[in-house]
Structure 1
Amino acid sequence: MVKIHLSRLLGERRWTQADLVRKTGIRPNTISEIYNELVDRINLDHMDLICEALNCEIADLLEYIPNKNRKIK
């Protein structure tokens, strides 16, 4: 599973989703879907813009959490 930490990062900076929209130019619906972890995939250009706006690394934004029940053969 991949956890998206956008809500935490915005909270730490006391930014709203609207602030991030203004800084990045990404559509509000897209920011909301990422913020609420409703996405199956994220556009790399969007990741770049978000990391640049928040002055963070991708590792600050995304975290891989192994699924103990899933076994890949």
Structure 2
Amino acid sequence: MIKVNLSRIMGERKLKIAEVSRKTGLHRNGITKLYYEKTDGIKFDTLEKLCKALNCEINDLLEIVEGEQEEE
């Protein structure tokens, strides 16, 4: 399973969804879905914008977690 660490990163930096939306130009709804891990995919362009805005690497944002089942 792929885990999205956006909520952790934003929490550490005390960023709100609206701030990340403003910094990236991405729609709030898309960021919210990623924040709550309620999405089934992500575009490379979105990854790039998030990484640049948050000053992080892709592997900081996404990770593969072995042995965990996806919530249905």
- Normalised by the size of structure 2, how large is the TM-score? 0.90
**After the TM superposition, which residues 1-73 of structure 1 pair with which residues of structure 2 at under 5 Å, given as runs?**
1-67=1-67
Q: Look up the SS of the partner of 1:30 in the other structure.
A: helix
Render the CA deviation track for 1:13-70: whole Å, top value 9, x for unaligned. 110011000000100100000101011100110000000000000000001012378x
Q: Look up the SS of the partner of 2:56 in the other structure.
A: coil
**Structure 1: 5+ residue runs without aligned partners?**
none
Identity %: 45
**Distance of aligned partners of 1:53 and 1:68 in 2 relative to their CA distance in 1, 3 Å threshold:** closer
- Normalised by the size of structure 1, how large is the TM-score? 0.89
Q: Look up the SS of the partner of 1:56 in the other structure.
A: coil
* Letter matched to residue 45 of structure 2: D
**Distance of aligned partners of 1:7 and 1:68 in 2 relative to their CA distance in 1, 3 Å threshold:** closer
**Structure 2: 5+ residue runs without aligned partners?**
none
Q: Look up the SS of the partner of 1:3 in the other structure.
A: strand
Equivalent residues, number? 69
- RMSD of the TM alignment (CA)? 1.4
Larger Rg: 1
